[in-house]
Amino acid sequence: MHLGNPKAILVWLSLVSLAAPAAGGGGHGARVVAGCALIAVCVFSAYALLFSAAAARRAYQRSRRWLHGALALAFAWAGARMLRGGV
């Protein structure tokens, strides 16, 4: 999922470079990347299980109108700020 976002790729690369010791080789970097991949698979699998549960769907259906309205207001506010040049 993150591979389509160049900013996310740069963040992951910076994490790998920060975790690598100065005298470390390519094997260490590969272990860090494998660990990060495992963490990502676990987190996104947990999100999928959590948000596909019947209780989560019912809660979303109950709050959908208010949630969409709040997000519309937030994006309208952000868009107005960008148009005014106040980013």
**Could you read off the pLDDT of 12-66 as tens digits, one per residue?**
788 777 877 777 666 777 887 788 889 889 999 999 999 999 999 999 999 999 9
Tell how far CA 7 is from the center of its chain.
Answer: 11
Amino acid of residue 67: L
Instruction: Check whether residue 60 and residue 71 sit in a common domain.
Output: yes
Task: Give CA–CA dist 65/50, Å, rounded.
Answer: 21
Instruction: Check whether residue 77 and residue 45 sit in a common domain.
Output: no
Instruction: Check whether residue 29 and residue 69 sit in a common domain.
Output: no
Instruction: Check whether residue 37 and residue 65 sit in a common domain.
Output: no
Distinct helix (H) and strand (E) counts, the chain? 3, 0
Instruction: Check whether residue 43 and residue 16 sit in a common domain.
Output: yes
DSSP string of 4-42, one letter each residue: G-HHHHHHHHHHHHHHS-TT--HHHHHHHHHHHHHHHHH
CB atoms within 10 A of CB 53: 11
Instruction: Check whether residue 42 and residue 63 sit in a common domain.
Output: no
68: tokens are 């969409």
Instruction: Check whether residue 48 and residue 58 sit in a common domain.
Output: no
pLDDT of residue 24: 67
pLDDT-based confidence at residue 87 (cuts at 50, 70, 90) = low
In this predicted model, which residue has the larger pLDDT, 2 or 68? 68
Tell me which residue range forms the domain holding 35: 1-52
Instruction: Check whether residue 28 and residue 18 sit in a common domain.
Output: yes
pLDDT of residue 38: 92
70: tokens are 């709040």
Instruction: Check whether residue 7 and residue 47 sit in a common domain.
Output: yes
pLDDT of residue 86: 67
How many domains does the chain fold into? Answer: 2
